[in-house]
Structure 1
Amino acid sequence: MKTLCLAVTLATQSLPGLAQDSNPDTGAATRDWASTGDVPEALRDARCIKCGGTYLDPLRNEDRSKSPERSDIDARSTSSEIREGTAEFTGGVEVTQGYRRLSADRATLDRDQRSGDMEGNIVLREPGLLLQGDSAHIESESGEASLTNSQFVLHAQHMRGTADLLERDSEGILHVHNGRITYCAPEDNDWMIRASELELDTEEGLATAYHARIEVADIPVFYSPWLQFPMDDRRRTGFLWPDFGSDTKGGVDISVPVYFNLAPNYDLLYAPRYIEERGFSHEATARYLHPLVGSWEVGGAWISDDKSYADDFPDDSHDRWLMLVRQKGLFADNRLRSTIDYSKASDVNYMKDLDSSSLDSRRRTALLQLGSLDYLGDRWLVNLEAQQFQSLADDISNDYKKLPQLSANYRPDGTPFEFSPIVFAQYSNFDSDDNRVTGARLYSEAGAAYPMQWSYGFLRPTAKYRYVTYDLNDHASFPDNNPDTGSPMASVDGGLFFDRMTTLVGKNMLQTVEPRLYYLYSGYEEQTDQPDFDSAELTFTYNQLFRETRFSGHDRIDDANQLSVGLTSRFIDAEDGREEFYASIGQIFYFRDREVRLGRAQPPLDNGDSELAGEIGFFPMENFSIRGSAVWDPYSDQMNSSNVIASYTPGGNTIVNVGYNYRRPLTTINENQNDTEQAHFSTYLPLSRNWRVFGAINYSMEANTSVEDMFGVEYDSCCWKVRLLHLRYYDNDTTGPLTDFNDPQLEREKSIQIQIVLKGMGGFGNRASSLMRDMIRGFVDSEY
């Protein structure tokens, strides 16, 4: 049996942790509000800075493991009168029940019913909750309470509100009658919700409003007889905020997603979408998670009778669709891993016409269709996969289909001074819808390496034999259906580490000098009778100096007799170990011509040494970096490629990126392609506490025009945010090597996106955030 414990004193005593207002009329909204300078450093997050302060809960450190209903009641006041079954308190009444705190001017406690009635300056506290009113009735057994003319604060949710009548039921749900609620800081009512009744479930993180209207600057802008919105980021069924935009490819574009939280392990998102010049599109995505089958995502989109597409392609079907299936799973004690990534569109123009969420989707030239299963053994990795692509360009043939491909790779632990076996085999069956040679390929390699490692350097000799054989279907270009090639390969990779203490700009630094030599030998075998299913010549970079092949894929076993020389130097802060600078340069010296080429008619490569390749990185501060690379051809005295990117993030969400990229196509690969030279600039720049501008430009120097540019402005206050974004880009219907910016068919498309966020409720226009992440390197949308 619980007892009522009464402690009566003759002077007003404040309970530990209760905040005292200097002005009692300021209300609950300001009672626990602390300006940024008064907030402890550990609690001064981005929301606190943006709002100029935050709500500090004086009971945030209370022990919540024991329910207050199981605790005794301790009451204090300046005077009291105890009668049979009741106790009356007047003058600075303070009541404690576990972690529950209550204060008032007057209180009457019913000892038998374990309830109380209070009047005057009532303050009821629990961790994360502050209620304030003129009069109240409280049931101590159930925690039920009702307050008139009340105000409230939800600390964790950063929300405050008022009510004519505020009731809390036994489940802890707050019922706000004829009230309002907002995320805004005290004395700031940029937006709020007024409702005849509000239900606030802090345990579920869900708010429901009846006969609700949203007001912006005290002006009603939206009404709904029923409105439900989240108070945290947990998943729940309901309407999501719409996406709204406009572009020259479709006109006004509005999508209103509906989310169905069907179960903890599966859900559904349906998004009807209206596109002014195309019609209605229906988009849906379903997700499912189960230990036996992994995580699944199945989605698609359908638009019936696309009006704009019918004008451009009258002879094609005007019903357009997209489907996708994605799966990832890990089974059998993490030994089996499965992956499915399958996408298919109704036509080659679907992505650039209808996927407006990012520029990357518009640039796609193919959709991947992949299924993969891996066995992850202690020493063996076995992979079985089927892969094909759907081309999204009329002038590009579909890649070969791998139906299927089986690979097995032995993975040694690489222990120094022990032999490491090399065993790899891969069987691939290639198919094609075009009139090209098809068939199967078996590639294998076997050998051993002997890694050696010391504190001052490393040495890794390797020897193996590589072999490839085919079983081709009949084709006029390949009279031999079973060509094969084998060749021995040997390499020695070694490097040394020299270091010394030095100073740089007055800082103690550890400087290293790291020379590296890599010798590679591989015998020559004639391979002009072999097809090219999945191989290509690799782009030359600094890392290419130390690769054992100059081809991707396994259709060519390259010949080599060469020595790579590389040199790297680093400057490392002696105090914190942070690398502040590195530079690398290297070159390959060839001792014989390279006769193995992809094409039958391509001549041998007879230059005596490679281009010079280099990399550089400079990190003088944690928020500033410069990275770059370059490839210079000493024979032509020209730069073949170079790129540099500088990023500056000084804090306060400021981002500045400046970049440059140049590439001169090698005549051995494509004689018709132009040089590409582009400059990049992107920024997200706060102008004041609330205003920001952002933008990005990809500028083609050979065409003297911007290829892609995006500009926007953002207003971000404590409780709402609005963005206006304008995007321009070229939509090239071909992907050929020449880009003629004077071509009248090369149109510059435009898009306008609007994003509005009412903080604490959510917002619409997420396409704007997606485009900003796509074009501004390092941009992450603020949580607050």
Structure 2
Amino acid sequence: MHAQAQEAVSQAAAEQAVKTADESLPGLQLKSSTLLQESYPQEVRDQQPIYIKGDNLSGQPDIKASVHGEAELRRGDTMIRADKLDYAVPDDKVHAVGSVYINQAGNVYKGTTLDLQLDAFVGQFDNANYRFLANGAYGDSSRVDFIDKKHAVVHDATYTTCQRDDEASWEPSWVLKAKTIRLDMAEEVGVAEDAKLQFKGVTVLPVPRMSFPLSDKRKSGLLPPMFGMDNLGGFEYTQPYYWNIAPNRDMTLWPTVMTRRGVNLGTQFRYLEPRYSGEAYASYMPSDKLRDRERWGYSWQHRSIIDSPIGGLGLNFNLNRVSDDDYWRDFRLAPVALRQRLLPSTVNLSWAKGDGVLSLNMLRYQTLQDPASPIAPPYSIVPQLQYRYTPLDLPHGLDFTAVADTTRFELIRPLAGQVGNNGQRSYVQAQLSRPFLSPGAFITPKLMLHSAMYQTDQLMSNGSKSANRTLPTFSLDSGLVFERDTSWFGKNLLQTFEPRAFYTYTPYRDQSMLPLYDTARNDFNFASIFSENDYGGQDRIADNNLLTLGATSRFIDPSTGAEKLKLAIAQRVRFSDQKVLLPGEVPATSRFSDVLLGAAVNWTDKWSTEATTQYNQDLNRTVRTTATARYSPGNYRTFNIGYRTQYDTVARTDASKLVDVGWQWPINDLWGDKGKDLGPGRGQGGGRWYAVGRLNYSIKDRQLVDTVIGFEYDGCCWIGRVVLERLQSSIIQSNLRLLFQLEFVGFSRLSFGADPTSSLKQNVPRYQYLREAVTPPSRFTNYD
């Protein structure tokens, strides 16, 4: 049972990982091969009876039936209505004339004359128009040739998803006109020949042959081209091609021509299986005129579970490499993993058995340097062997955890002047605690023991290549919970008052000679202030003798359990000076730490505010403040604002002051047109404008850092977008792009520049697509 549950969870995690791997392809989601379903058996459908009715019925049993006046024939998922209908039983053929109407599994056809072999669904329908259930698309034709229930050929055809209104002069905003359209309902693909795509009466895409989707199902073929211009590549043309290899595998290729730089070839491959999944990206530019060299980059993420005689094994890796230091700023369309200056490549092999997990890890960094802002490369792990033991259901309510770890650290390509000392670090850490819990109080004593050994390649500051350190730590965490009924503004609430006291003691050991492999000071916040060690990592164990006092008060809706208001305060009291420091740190001599104050208000589902501030009593001022507010009254209506400030206590000046504003909002609201809430992925009705964007402004520098401003217009069956994007890539350099997109809903997108929706989704908090894939309708949605 445990193995089955683990497999199900792993499979779900793999599917979710691949589903979210590429936000730029909404709707193109893989399905695990074990989830594919078989079609309904044909032999069952062949046994379905035929029902006929009308005003007048004549004929011979088992030979022929003729129906006049509101004639109707039904068999399975097919229904035919006409003024007159003849059915030949031996041949299973239907001949219908006069206002002929067909509903075949929810797809509707209307015409003048029908000749159809019913069981095989082979025949001809003259002067027919049609409407498809999956996407609401419809059109007219001179003739429809039915090949079978899943295939048809439409002659002199039109195709659009624009919904008609009542005006006699109405014309669809966009329409595809073709000599023939071949419809494949099995693959949900249409192929138009001698076609032209018209928008507002103007031909925007004349093509001799093109394929297009009849639903949100993935299909192979050329994707709409992208044209654009930016300050790095000049004029750009990209022609993507999508290859639907299988339901659980696909690949996208996108060659790009840049007038200022050359040709760039990019590809992405995704795969999903019950026990493994992943995605791989690669790009290659043989000769980039901008940097006068070849450029390349790749990123590969893989997750898997391996069956073995010794138990469950897991293999995961995440590989990221690029050709040069400027890649992150020159290729803004690369995956997020390659658009940063510190590129990690990791490999993890793990084995789980009982209460223990054994893992072997490798981690190497590629550091992309900027002469104007160099960064010190971190140590690489080559390799790490770790065993973690966490037994469950110990007697007497005890909790125990033990970790044994040995790691080899190496500094790869250090920065000029950077001093490193490669070496091996081994440590064992054990902790034992016993929580005592009651409805109104808790107390948790904890004992920890940390023992580490170092073997370095170079001499440490004490003149030795080896060192040992063993430190015990004791902590006691305790708190009370008081509750009372209250009311605010006529609303009944449950108020809590939760005082908390946390004491920790670790004796002093001189650790100044030890190298710093993976250690840094923790951020000072409500989580770290109630912790035993001020440092993250294993190279420094702070000598603490301190008490943290704090209190939290919550106002809770008793009917729903929702937290409406939260207030918190915390401060440390230090009984002795801390002697263990990182290089360059100034020892804290004050007996009282900065005061942390926090508040969060969620009075309604529409409003949300949160703020945290750090107050320094010696300076008598705040040294750091973070505040955010969100107003989201409904779908496609969201406004976010954030304020962050950091004060340099050494230089006694502001280190940074930033305001971050993001929004998505219907402009029609300004003149009282509130639209309709059709739900996420469906917009708020046609004829509506939306403003969307994000501004990141530095108050200290008095300039915009990042800017994304766009407008969207929902024409019901088409969506237009224009986005101006300016993103800072260094202190003195930024990338500027102007993006256009014309989306024909249920048909295709024409993008001029990179896909604007990818930029909006990445930069604008809580941005929603105006159209997203929804659950396909059942044939009973359009049941006659």
Matched, 1:397 2:376: yes
**Partner amino acid, structure 2, of 1:684:** Q
TM-score (norm 1): 0.85
Q: 1:227 to 1:220 in 2, by over 3 A?
A: same
Provide the C-alpha distance between the structure 2 equivalents of 1:436 and 1:664, rounded to a whole number of angstroms. 31
Larger RCO: 1 or 2 (CA < 8 Å, sep 6+) = 2
3-state SS in 2 of match to 1:545: helix
Q: Residue 584 of structure 1 aligns with which residue?
A: 568
Q: Residue 711 of structure 1 aligns with which residue?
A: 709
Q: Deviations over 1:754-777 (max 9, x none)?
A: 122111123144631122122211
Q: Deviations over 1:715-751 (max 9, x none)?
A: 1121111111012233325xxxxxxxxxxxx244321
3-state SS in 1 of match to 2:760: helix
Q: Which runs of 5+ in 1 are unaligned?
A: 1-62, 311-317, 734-745
3-state SS in 2 of match to 1:675: strand
Q: Residue 361 of structure 2 aligns with which residue?
A: 385
* 262-271 or 137-146, larger mean C-alpha shift: 262-271
Provide the C-alpha distance between the structure 2 equivalents of 1:753 and 1:357, rounded to a whole number of angstroms. 16
Q: 1:729 to 1:361 in 2, by over 3 A?
A: farther
Q: Residue 686 of structure 1 aligns with which residue?
A: 666
Provide the C-alpha distance between the structure 1 equivalents of 2:427 and 2:226, rounded to a whole number of angstroms. 50
Work out whether residues 331 and 339 of structure 2, in 8 Å CA contact, stay in contact via their aligned partners in 1.
no
Work out whether residues 646 and 654 of structure 2, in 8 Å CA contact, stay in contact via their aligned partners in 1.
no
2:344 to 342, 347, 368: 368
Work out whether residues 299 and 338 of structure 2, in 8 Å CA contact, stay in contact via their aligned partners in 1.
no
2:287 to 305, 311, 317: 305
3-state SS in 1 of match to 2:603: strand
**Partner amino acid, structure 2, of 1:396:** I
Provide the C-alpha distance between the structure 1 equivalents of 2:532 and 2:359, rounded to a whole number of angstroms. 22
Q: Residue 295 of structure 2 aligns with which residue?
A: 320
3-state SS in 2 of match to 1:773: helix
Q: Which runs of 5+ in 2 are unaligned?
A: 1-39, 166-170, 669-686, 773-784
Q: Deviations over 1:312-340 (max 9, x none)?
A: xxxxxx11111222111123399333221
Work out whether residues 142 and 157 of structure 2, in 8 Å CA contact, stay in contact via their aligned partners in 1.
yes
Q: Residue 33 of structure 2 aligns with which residue?
A: none
2:54 to 77, 81, 106: 77
Provide the C-alpha distance between the structure 1 equivalents of 2:693 and 2:245, rounded to a whole number of angstroms. 40
* Alignment: residue pair count: 697
Residue 414 of structure 1 and its aligned partner are, at CA, apart by 7.0
Q: Residue 152 of structure 1 aligns with which residue?
A: 130
Provide the C-alpha distance between the structure 2 equivalents of 1:423 and 1:533, rounded to a whole number of angstroms. 21
Residue 171 of structure 1 and its aligned partner are, at CA, apart by 4.0
Work out whether residues 414 and 451 of structure 1, in 8 Å CA contact, stay in contact via their aligned partners in 2.
no
Provide the C-alpha distance between the structure 1 equivalents of 2:619 and 2:234, rounded to a whole number of angstroms. 50
3-state SS in 1 of match to 2:758: helix
Q: 1:372 to 1:674 in 2, by over 3 A?
A: farther
Q: Residue 643 of structure 1 aligns with which residue?
A: 626
Identity %: 24
Q: Deviations over 1:34-61 (max 9, x none)?
A: xxxxxxxxxxxxxxxxxxxxxxxxxxxx
Q: Residue 433 of structure 2 aligns with which residue?
A: 449
Residue 370 of structure 1 and its aligned partner are, at CA, apart by 0.9
Residue 156 of structure 1 and its aligned partner are, at CA, apart by 2.4
3-state SS in 2 of match to 1:304: strand
Residue 752 of structure 1 and its aligned partner are, at CA, apart by 0.8
Q: 1:99 to 1:321 in 2, by over 3 A?
A: closer
Residue 131 of structure 1 and its aligned partner are, at CA, apart by 1.0
TM-score (norm 2): 0.85
Residue 253 of structure 1 and its aligned partner are, at CA, apart by 2.8
Residue 416 of structure 1 and its aligned partner are, at CA, apart by 9.3
Provide the C-alpha distance between the structure 2 equivalents of 1:224 and 1:356, rounded to a whole number of angstroms. 28
Residue 185 of structure 1 and its aligned partner are, at CA, apart by 0.7
* 236-245 or 396-405, larger mean C-alpha shift: 236-245
Q: Residue 117 of structure 2 aligns with which residue?
A: 139
Q: Residue 313 of structure 1 aligns with which residue?
A: none
Provide the C-alpha distance between the structure 1 equivalents of 2:721 and 2:532, rounded to a whole number of angstroms. 50
Q: Residue 92 of structure 2 aligns with which residue?
A: 114
Work out whether residues 460 and 514 of structure 2, in 8 Å CA contact, stay in contact via their aligned partners in 1.
no
2:757 to 745, 748, 769: 769
Q: Deviations over 1:279-299 (max 9, x none)?
A: 11011222344456x223333
**Partner amino acid, structure 1, of 2:662:** S
1:425 to 396, 404, 407: 404
* 492-501 or 69-78, larger mean C-alpha shift: 69-78
Q: Residue 219 of structure 2 aligns with which residue?
A: 236
1:654 to 612, 620, 637: 637
Q: 1:363 to 1:181 in 2, by over 3 A?
A: closer
Q: 1:265 to 1:598 in 2, by over 3 A?
A: same
Q: 1:494 to 1:415 in 2, by over 3 A?
A: farther
Provide the C-alpha distance between the structure 2 equivalents of 1:590 and 1:67, rounded to a whole number of angstroms. 80
1:194 to 168, 177, 190: 177
**Partner amino acid, structure 1, of 2:739:** Q
Work out whether residues 337 and 343 of structure 2, in 8 Å CA contact, stay in contact via their aligned partners in 1.
no
Matched, 1:632 2:607: no
Q: Residue 466 of structure 1 aligns with which residue?
A: 450
Q: Residue 107 of structure 2 aligns with which residue?
A: 129
3-state SS in 1 of match to 2:762: helix
Q: Residue 281 of structure 1 aligns with which residue?
A: 264
1:199-238 alignment, distance < 5 Å: 199-238=182-221
Residue 603 of structure 1 and its aligned partner are, at CA, apart by 5.0
Q: 1:243 to 1:385 in 2, by over 3 A?
A: farther
Q: 1:374 to 1:504 in 2, by over 3 A?
A: farther
Work out whether residues 175 and 197 of structure 1, in 8 Å CA contact, stay in contact via their aligned partners in 2.
yes
Matched, 1:730 2:728: yes
Q: Deviations over 1:211-256 (max 9, x none)?
A: 1211112322112222112223333321122334322122223322
**Partner amino acid, structure 2, of 1:778:** R
Q: Deviations over 1:488-542 (max 9, x none)?
A: 1000111111111111121111111111111100010011111111111111111
Structure 1 runs (4+) greater than 6 angstroms displaced? 63-66, 360-363
Provide the C-alpha distance between the structure 2 equivalents of 1:191 and 1:393, rounded to a whole number of angstroms. 49
**Partner amino acid, structure 2, of 1:574:** P
Work out whether residues 416 and 453 of structure 1, in 8 Å CA contact, stay in contact via their aligned partners in 2.
no
3-state SS in 2 of match to 1:298: strand
Residue 397 of structure 1 and its aligned partner are, at CA, apart by 2.8
Residue 70 of structure 1 and its aligned partner are, at CA, apart by 2.6
Work out whether residues 182 and 189 of structure 1, in 8 Å CA contact, stay in contact via their aligned partners in 2.
yes
Provide the C-alpha distance between the structure 2 equivalents of 1:718 and 1:357, rounded to a whole number of angstroms. 32
Work out whether residues 288 and 296 of structure 1, in 8 Å CA contact, stay in contact via their aligned partners in 2.
yes
Work out whether residues 417 and 451 of structure 1, in 8 Å CA contact, stay in contact via their aligned partners in 2.
no
1:329 to 304, 307, 310: 304
Matched, 1:408 2:387: yes
Q: Residue 22 of structure 1 aligns with which residue?
A: none
**Partner amino acid, structure 2, of 1:571:** F
3-state SS in 2 of match to 1:234: coil
Q: Deviations over 1:564-585 (max 9, x none)?
A: 1111111111222211111211
Matched, 1:349 2:326: yes
Matched, 1:512 2:512: no
Residue 666 of structure 1 and its aligned partner are, at CA, apart by 5.0
RMSD (Å) for aligned C-alpha atoms:
2.4
Q: 1:251 to 1:206 in 2, by over 3 A?
A: same
Provide the C-alpha distance between the structure 1 equivalents of 2:318 and 2:118, rounded to a whole number of angstroms. 57
3-state SS in 1 of match to 2:397: coil
Q: Residue 738 of structure 2 aligns with which residue?
A: 752
Work out whether residues 78 and 92 of structure 1, in 8 Å CA contact, stay in contact via their aligned partners in 2.
yes
* 430-439 or 238-247, larger mean C-alpha shift: 238-247
Provide the C-alpha distance between the structure 1 equivalents of 2:79 and 2:581, rounded to a whole number of angstroms. 82
* 696-705 or 108-117, larger mean C-alpha shift: 108-117
Q: Residue 537 of structure 1 aligns with which residue?
A: 521
Q: 1:291 to 1:111 in 2, by over 3 A?
A: closer
Residue 438 of structure 1 and its aligned partner are, at CA, apart by 0.5
3-state SS in 2 of match to 1:339: strand
Provide the C-alpha distance between the structure 2 equivalents of 1:475 and 1:250, rounded to a whole number of angstroms. 50
3-state SS in 2 of match to 1:542: coil
3-state SS in 2 of match to 1:770: helix
